[in-house]
Amino acid sequence: MIGRLRGILAEKRPPFLLLDVNGVGYELEAPLGTLFQLPELGQEVTLHTHLVVREDAHLLFAFATLAERTLFRTLLKVNGVGAKLALTILSGISADDFARCVQESDTASLVRLPGVGKKTAERLIIEMRDRLDDWQPAPLLAGGTVAAAPVVDAVKDALSALLALGYKPPEASRLISKLDTEGMDSETIIRAALKQAVKNQ
């Protein structure tokens, strides 16, 4: 099991990133909350990881904090929740906000996430309530802040990220088309699009 990686951030295309560890490039998939905390390209970063082994692929997921990774692993234990949906959940809502929703039985907020229907939201609350009783808010990624790195095609990257989160192409395109993306990087576009999605619920 690969539990942690430290290396140079070589590429960042939500929801994927490439980490150069002593000359070996690790392709990782990360929730947007982690991606938003990453430093500029070329900077060193330490990430907590979780390896998923399937018959057709080995998938490596990266997280800014141990708490975020713990929540991801806990989500995987919920009936009907796989790695894809767990990552989508963590991308659409912060770990702390998710814990609050579970503790307060807030199904309305959970069903706004792509791929989460009413039954799934209710199952998440029932199966995870006891596991999140002692949840503590997590600190930000050490040494990392939201860095506005230049992006060649921010709109294209943002669209790809929304599709990876489970939004259908027409819906993702519609969310972005409502924004004035001039001068915005992909992370800012994604944030704004997700806010639009919540307002449309």
* Cα-based torsion angle of the residue sequence 137, 141, 144, 149 in order, rounded to the nearest 10 degrees: -90
Residues 187 and 166: their CA atoms lie apart, in Å, by 17
Residue type, 80: G
Q: How far is CA 2 from CA 6, 34, 47, 51, in A?
A: 11, 18, 11, 6
pLDDT for 174 equals 83
pLDDT for 152 equals 38
Phi, psi at residue 40, to the nearest 5°?
-70, 160
Q: Which CATH superfamily is domain 67-132 in?
A: 5' to 3' exonuclease, C-terminal subdomain (1.10.150.20)
Three-state DSSP class for residue 185: coil
pLDDT for 134 equals 66
| Nearest Cα to Cα of residue 5 among 43, 33, 44 | 44
Domain ranges of the chain: 4-63, 67-132, 154-199
Q: Which residues of the chain have pLDDT under 70?
A: 134, 136-152, 198-201
In CATH terms, is domain 154-199 a member of 1.20.1250.20? no
Residues 167 and 159: their CA atoms lie apart, in Å, by 9
Structure token digits, residue 81: 């929740």
Beta bridge partners of 48: 4, 63
**Do 54 and 41 form a contact (C-beta atoms < 8 A)?**
no
In which element (H, E) is residue 17 found? strand 16-21
In which element (H, E) is residue 4 found? strand 4-13
**Do 20 and 10 form a contact (C-beta atoms < 8 A)?**
yes
* Termini Cα distance of the chain: 39
pLDDT for 183 equals 79
Fold that domain 4-63 belongs to in CATH: OB fold (Dihydrolipoamide Acetyltransferase, E2P) (2.40.50)
Residues 126 and 102: their CA atoms lie apart, in Å, by 8
